[in-house]
Structure 1
Amino acid sequence: MSNSSKRPEIVSEKLAHALRSDSDDAFIDASPFAACLLPLLRELGWNNYAKELIEALPHFSEQLDLIDLRNILATLGYESTPVAIESDKLKHELYPALYITKEGRVLLLQGIDEQLIHYYDPSDDSYQTTEKLNLQGTAYLFTDCHHAHGSNPSEAPGADWFSNLLQRFQKMIIHLLGMTFIINLAALLVPLFIMVIYDKVIGAKSAETLPFLISGAAILLSADLGLRYLRAKLLGVTAGRLDYLIGVETFKRMLYLPPLYTERSTVAAQLSRLKQFDSVRDFFTGPSAAIALELPFVILFLIVIGILGGVVALIPLAMVIGFVMLGLFWLPMLNSKIMRSGKARTDKQRIIMQTVAGRKEIKSIGGETVWWERFRENSGEAVLSNYHTFLSNNVMNNLAQGMMTFTGVAVLGVGTLQVMAGEMTIGALIAIMALVWRVLSPMQSAFLSFSKIQQTIKAIKQINQLMKLRNERKGGKSGLVLEKLKGDIRIERVSFRYGPDRDPALLGVSFHIKPGEIVAISGNTGSGKSTLIKMIAGMYAPQAGSIQVDHMDLRQLNAMDLRRAVAYVPQQTHMFHGTITQNIRLNNSLATDEQIESAAAEAGVLEEILALPEGFNTRIGDTTIDRMPPGFLRSLSMARAFVSPAKILLLDEPGASLDDESDRRFVEQLKLLKGKRSIVMVSHRPSHIRLADKAILMDQGAVAHVGHPDEVVALLLENLT
């Protein structure tokens, strides 16, 4: 099979190919950091699958650099910390370490033995020993963060994940506050400069001091602009890192959640939940973060106004309190309108997604008019709720603007009386007016951002709740044990229900599958067949009873490792955007090109793939699958299962969407597999059931009959008649 392509091969593909062929040469040729990767993992005691290393490789990098190396190790469970230190001063308990000299030389320090330093030099692929290195540079120290070592606090239920995340940015936040303080100090000096001009220069007609004052003000304003630019850069970096970490970690957590948490939610609901997390990103990347930094310094301006104007400071202080009170009064009403508007948008989005997914069914039943009427009603509700939300926001904006104007007029009026009474100078009044706007401007912005701030707080709470859920990724790896499965499956009195208010999907199910047996499971719709096969695949855990594979209880195994050790073909065929090779290799990232060809041949689809213009490099997973025969896609799904060396094969309605030729080919495949793998197959087709060594008939979540396939076929035919 040729994997040639017009695009150059990226580094991850080269390294993955090297791992599949058990060769280190590609790592040595890629970069010094890539050359150090495997020796470093060996020194760290990493003894898990090459499969995990392939999956941890960067997908789009053209060269593996230091950042890529640290990200790979973090994915595998090893956090790294840079320390500037001389190579000979590194304590022996801190080894192994990746050392980068000031000249850019890369070394892997392996350890110290009898005062001798053992290290690996990737420049000439050599392992060396010396008494002294005498190097200046940075050592990257590695910490094992697997659960067994108790150093993964983010996984602990109940932890405030977002607060822990912010603590990582504590220094940056302190720097931002410090810069904002200096910026506000500069902003405070400008009104004071104006006051000096009016009172000292104009009043005393002292033009000689004017150039010095203007020069000082120019320097101050230049420094202010520079600080604002630096703050914007630092805020952008902080916001970008937060956005990346929040997006990646929440997406990762949702991927690793047990299927029971997510598969009962609609696609629209899950997309809506992910979109709510965007409000956190918008808060940090938008003007709201700058407003939050400015608010603490409102007190500083109020104090200066009090020093200059006395009781005049009570006016802006009262207006600040007024903004807070109005926000607390107006916010609940506005929130109800926002929630109604959000629900209407979600409903509209849901009906659009359903239309795109089921437009063929809508046309086939002639439901265009009914469906259009439903969309029209949803659109009307969305427009009406958006109008009420817009109106409330507009009223709030006008109120905020009116309060600011009233405050300015009130300060001007009271200040004028004080000037006329000789209690304040004209320069002080002008300075106070400038300071009042500095007080009210961030308050108005914060007032108008109340709804966004509340959405952000709500999204943070949801993120924390999501992070409290336990995922399926456990520290103890069981994959090495599961690689040697024989395929003995024992199900003993298993019961399961999807929710406390739902009827049992399985009730006291028991049977035994010997290694190499084919077992067919049949029954009416809703009898628990698919639920049972998903439980064998580790998708669900029994709520009563047990499922054992080779005398090991599935609940004691890592669910992810179990699924890697079991080949599962679901009822509905899903192909993802990418080439045919990439889709087949999803089930076994270690599969070589030859193994992929063999799996395709075993699935009876090799000739059809090779007949395509680009062969195995043909891209599928988008609109192209609509033009492909269902039997071809089902065979690709089978090939994806066959590429796994698993001894257990689970087939959920494999005959769905198959024509006569595809079904005949599938029957031949099963005959060839008989005795080689333990096969559990959900099917209604007599031709499939008769291939089994024994068949199971299920009814309302319980086993109604276990026996010879002909007996189950006869019972099925009786039920039909």
Structure 2
Amino acid sequence: MSPDAATDNAAASGWSLPQTEPESVADPLLAGLLLLARHWGRPATPQALCAGLPLEDGRLTPMLCLRAAERAGLAARWSQRDLDELESGYLPALLLLTERRAAVLTGWDENGQQAQLQWPEEAGGMRPMARAELEEIYSGRALLCAPLPERTAVPEADDDAPQRHWFWGALRRFWPLYAETAAASMMINLLALASPLFIMNVYDRVVPNQAMETLWVLAIGAALAFGFDFLLRTLRGYFLDLAGKRADLLMASKLAEQTLGLPLANLPPSTGGLARTLQDFEPLRDFFASATLATLIDLPFAILFVGVIWLLGGDIALIPALMIPLVILIGFLLQRPLARAARAAHSEAARKHAVLVEAIGGLETIKTLGAEGRMQRQWERSVSHAAQVGAKTRNIGSLAVHLALVAQQLSTIALVVMGVGRIAEGAMSMGALIACTILSGRALAPLAQIAGILTRFEQSSVSLEQLNRIMSLPNERPAERRYISRPALSGAIALENVRFAYPGQKFDALSDITLSIAPGERVGFLGRMGSGKSTLFRLLLGLYEPQAGAVRLDGADLRQIDPADARRQMGYAPQEPLLFVGSLRENIAWGAPQADDARVLHVAELAGVSQFAQRHPMGLEAPVGERGAGLSGGQRQAVSLARALIHDPPMLLLDEPTSSMDSASEAHVKRSIAALPPGRTLLLATHRASLLTLVDRLVILDEGRIIADGPKEQVLRQLQSGALPLSSANGAQPAVGGAA
């Protein structure tokens, strides 16, 4: 079933998501899917199934349910079935019920009159229901599931499976629409014979005999043919647009999911270059969802027109028959230089876009440094290079167009000259010559566009190649990796002989780190700039993987836990928080859209957001601006801290959480953290001595190594006495690449 059709059916059965919903049913589809996953031996957590999905109001839709099922290792599809058709071979199945409810049908009694149902709103409890009663509330749609086969970790196996390709697989999924497009094109080209045949008969039969009745019959027939031609062209455009829209939704979703799921270590070094590469999806999609594809479909029908010319004029058909391969040969000869020019144009466009993104993002710094001239020079240089390469591409394309037009004109002249000779011999009529001339132009017309097609083809090929590189990068949630379900972590953290270096860096950011933190322990991390404090937090969050050693949560290797599960149970406040366009409330609940107002207000008060929000007439609905530009650094840190607390996580990772705050705001945050219920593991990296009262243990990092670890008072005495071997400011070689 197509996504559009499924969505329409969902809406018709009462499953279009409303703005509000009773709190007793948080997400029946998700809860039911979790029950199915458990039945098939694929236990999962809500966070693992929903991570990165575009939830509506924080809930699964019927179509998103299919994507979530795949994450659970289940092949799922929605099926329109009566209860009589849901036999044991299809069970268990998730039934869509009225009033936005759902239930898992696990079986029937011996008489088939009593349904055994698991109810998500009752924590998966079993409650039977009579068949007649179930029929009254059953919407007629059921989710049928089966476990997917285990995938191996052999990349070549996946690469050789074309049905799994993110682009070709999506196009193949909508092949019926493309088949209908081809059928419409065939009829359009057959109807294109109406015009030349009409003119031929008028000149050869109507005019000599003054047969006006025949003229009207022919005119009406030609008009009907043109009317059908119009309808078929409209249908062809509709089919292309429909296939393009559906494929666009599918491919764009896969592309965004892959990009958002890339580990930070695999991200390209240039954000602007990555953005430009992702924009290449537009010309790639347009190539397969536009008139270009229709033109390609029309090319084979040139043989049909040449055949009709042979029937009407005999040997004169050799002229277009020779011109067609000649024009195609010209196009192929120009393809290689055109491909080189297209690749160069893509590279220069990516560089230009990277300069633009860097300039806009760093505009404040550029102005304060007085570096507008230098940035302007970089921009003009990149624009100049891109323009030169673009001009070369256009020149090659124009050459192909001009050669094709010349070939078409020469073909017309040669055909007329040869046709006049055949008329003189009495082997051909005037009407037939006119018809052959029209058919020759019709046969060569698509070839005149071959230059534009080749240009777009090369651009699309380069775009596909670049996008394939992104899609082939390892994802932080590989499909072949099976995670263990850890929905509730206690907060025990361990690092065993961990070594890590940022991509492209020669020096280790962390080296031989061994550390054990008990649940509920409060640990402070001290060290110079670049000592590895922030890097340590990033490893704990799974943003990077160590090159050696292991990071463990509750004894389990972090790589065995779904990243969504682990991160949801870690509240993280980074050194430099990034806010998104929207309100204070939206930014606080960015990772928890289902959080109610009471929870948002509570964490806003704890983090000190309420102190400045209440001074704004819009309160928590006050806009923060792009990247939080409307707030001060301390206010952004307060919002970041509120984010970290929104899930009430068992572990808090606070990286310089008050470095930009004033003393009063810092004191408020300090009191809030101190008042948090016991049992929560706290990791605090700071240079503020006042915050050390929040911790009982100190870890000192220097050059990516632990040089001290122990009770707070003992480590502080060692620091004050100079007993710790800290590297000198000049002699140290700090780890770079983000280690702070």
Please give the alpha-carbon distance, in whole angstroms, between the structure 2 residues aligned to 1:308 and 1:91: 64
Amino acid at match of 1:407: S
Query: Residues 569 and 366 from structure 1, CA distance in 2 versus in 1: closer, same or farther, beyond 3 angstroms?
Result: same
Deviation at 1:667, TM superposition (A): 3.9
Aligned to 1:450: 454
Query: Residues 501 and 310 from structure 1, CA distance in 2 versus in 1: closer, same or farther, beyond 3 angstroms?
Result: farther
Aligned to 1:115: 111
Deviation at 1:536, TM superposition (A): 0.8
2:564 pairs with one of 556, 560, 564: 560
Amino acid at match of 1:451: T
Query: Residues 223 and 259 from structure 1, CA distance in 2 versus in 1: closer, same or farther, beyond 3 angstroms?
Result: same
* 1:363 maps onto 2:367 in alignment: yes
Amino acid at match of 1:427: G
Contact map agreement 1:302 1:317 (CA 8 A) in 2: yes
1:632 pairs with one of 619, 632, 635: 635
Please give the alpha-carbon distance, in whole angstroms, between the structure 2 residues aligned to 1:154 and 1:176: 35
Q: Provide, for residues 373-417 of structure 1, a one-character-per-residue CA deviation record: whole Å limited to 9, x for no partner.
A: 333333443444444444444333333322221222222222222
Q: Provide, for residues 165-216 of structure 1, a one-character-per-residue CA deviation record: whole Å limited to 9, x for no partner.
A: 2221122222211121111111134323333333333355544433322222
1:217 pairs with one of 213, 218, 222: 222
Show the 5 A alignment for 1:561-710. 561-622=565-626, 625-673=628-676, 676-688=679-691, 691-707=694-710, 708-710=714-716
Query: Residues 384 and 473 from structure 1, CA distance in 2 versus in 1: closer, same or farther, beyond 3 angstroms?
Result: closer
Deviation at 1:689, TM superposition (A): 5.2
1:170 pairs with one of 163, 170, 175: 175
Contact map agreement 1:576 1:622 (CA 8 A) in 2: yes
Q: Provide, for residues 601-632 of structure 1, a one-character-per-residue CA deviation record: whole Å limited to 9, x for no partner.
A: 32233333333322223333437x32322111
1:333 pairs with one of 316, 328, 337: 337
> What secondary structure does 1:116 align onto?
coil
TM-score (ref. length: structure 1): 0.84
Q: Provide, for residues 203-242 of structure 1, a one-character-per-residue CA deviation record: whole Å limited to 9, x for no partner.
A: 5554443332222222222222222222221221111111
Query: Residues 504 and 325 from structure 1, CA distance in 2 versus in 1: closer, same or farther, beyond 3 angstroms?
Result: farther
Query: Residues 367 and 40 from structure 1, CA distance in 2 versus in 1: closer, same or farther, beyond 3 angstroms?
Result: closer
* 1:91 maps onto 2:87 in alignment: yes
Contact map agreement 1:419 1:425 (CA 8 A) in 2: yes
Please give the alpha-carbon distance, in whole angstroms, between the structure 1 residues aligned to 2:462 and 2:341: 16
Please give the alpha-carbon distance, in whole angstroms, between the structure 2 residues aligned to 1:601 and 1:440: 73
Show the 5 A alignment for 1:378-397. 378-397=382-401
Aligned to 1:310: 314
Deviation at 1:639, TM superposition (A): 1.0
Please give the alpha-carbon distance, in whole angstroms, between the structure 2 residues aligned to 1:703 and 1:321: 73
Q: Provide, for residues 674-701 of structure 1, a one-character-per-residue CA deviation record: whole Å limited to 9, x for no partner.
A: 9542222333344445754333333443
Show the 5 A alignment for 1:237-316. 237-262=242-267, 264-316=268-320
Deviation at 1:576, TM superposition (A): 1.7
1:354 pairs with one of 358, 375, 384: 358
Aligned to 1:202: 207
Contact map agreement 1:99 1:108 (CA 8 A) in 2: yes
Please give the alpha-carbon distance, in whole angstroms, between the structure 2 residues aligned to 1:146 and 1:574: 40
Moved more, 605-614 or 248-257: 605-614
* 1:14 maps onto 2:20 in alignment: yes
Amino acid at match of 1:634: Q
Contact map agreement 2:204 2:429 (CA 8 A) in 1: yes
Deviation at 1:537, TM superposition (A): 0.8
Moved more, 147-156 or 555-564: 147-156
Please give the alpha-carbon distance, in whole angstroms, between the structure 2 residues aligned to 1:44 and 1:665: 45
* 1:423 maps onto 2:416 in alignment: no
* 1:184 maps onto 2:197 in alignment: no
Please give the alpha-carbon distance, in whole angstroms, between the structure 2 residues aligned to 1:693 and 1:92: 59
Please give the alpha-carbon distance, in whole angstroms, between the structure 2 residues aligned to 1:560 and 1:608: 32
Query: Residues 694 and 348 from structure 1, CA distance in 2 versus in 1: closer, same or farther, beyond 3 angstroms?
Result: same
Amino acid at match of 2:449: S
Contact map agreement 1:517 1:675 (CA 8 A) in 2: no
Query: Residues 331 and 148 from structure 1, CA distance in 2 versus in 1: closer, same or farther, beyond 3 angstroms?
Result: closer
Deviation at 1:44, TM superposition (A): 7.2
Aligned to 1:69: 62
Moved more, 144-153 or 237-246: 144-153
Amino acid at match of 1:677: R
Please give the alpha-carbon distance, in whole angstroms, between the structure 2 residues aligned to 1:337 and 1:643: 52
Please give the alpha-carbon distance, in whole angstroms, between the structure 1 residues aligned to 2:102 and 2:354: 55
Contact map agreement 2:623 2:630 (CA 8 A) in 1: no
Moved more, 338-347 or 184-193: 338-347
Moved more, 91-100 or 323-332: 91-100
Aligned to 1:4: none
Moved more, 40-49 or 275-284: 40-49
Amino acid at match of 2:327: F
Deviation at 1:548, TM superposition (A): 1.3
Deviation at 1:572, TM superposition (A): 1.4
Query: Residues 138 and 463 from structure 1, CA distance in 2 versus in 1: closer, same or farther, beyond 3 angstroms?
Result: farther
Query: Residues 718 and 669 from structure 1, CA distance in 2 versus in 1: closer, same or farther, beyond 3 angstroms?
Result: farther
Aligned to 1:533: 537
Contact map agreement 1:324 1:447 (CA 8 A) in 2: no
> What secondary structure does 1:487 align onto?
coil
Please give the alpha-carbon distance, in whole angstroms, between the structure 1 residues aligned to 2:534 and 2:398: 53
Deviation at 1:573, TM superposition (A): 0.8
Contact map agreement 2:261 2:477 (CA 8 A) in 1: yes
Query: Residues 516 and 88 from structure 1, CA distance in 2 versus in 1: closer, same or farther, beyond 3 angstroms?
Result: closer
Contact map agreement 1:100 1:106 (CA 8 A) in 2: yes
Query: Residues 638 and 389 from structure 1, CA distance in 2 versus in 1: closer, same or farther, beyond 3 angstroms?
Result: same
Q: Provide, for residues 326-352 of structure 1, a one-character-per-residue CA deviation record: whole Å limited to 9, x for no partner.
A: 222323333444444444443333333
Contact map agreement 1:630 1:657 (CA 8 A) in 2: yes
Q: What count of residue pairs does the alignment treat as equivalent?
A: 688
Amino acid at match of 2:229: D
Deviation at 1:41, TM superposition (A): 6.8
Moved more, 553-562 or 500-509: 500-509
Aligned to 2:8: none
Structure 2 portions without partners, runs of 5+: 1-15, 731-740
What do you get for the CA RMSD once the two structures are aligned? Answer: 4.0
2:502 pairs with one of 498, 505, 516: 498
Deviation at 1:138, TM superposition (A): 9.3
Contact map agreement 1:479 1:565 (CA 8 A) in 2: no
Show the 5 A alignment for 1:443-482. 443-473=447-477, 481-482=486-487
Deviation at 1:307, TM superposition (A): 3.3
Moved more, 346-355 or 142-151: 142-151
Query: Residues 630 and 118 from structure 1, CA distance in 2 versus in 1: closer, same or farther, beyond 3 angstroms?
Result: farther
Amino acid at match of 2:245: G
Deviation at 1:455, TM superposition (A): 1.9
> What secondary structure does 2:572 align onto?
strand
Please give the alpha-carbon distance, in whole angstroms, between the structure 2 residues aligned to 1:117 and 1:149: 37
Query: Residues 340 and 409 from structure 1, CA distance in 2 versus in 1: closer, same or farther, beyond 3 angstroms?
Result: same
Please give the alpha-carbon distance, in whole angstroms, between the structure 2 residues aligned to 1:539 and 1:168: 34
Query: Residues 82 and 193 from structure 1, CA distance in 2 versus in 1: closer, same or farther, beyond 3 angstroms?
Result: farther
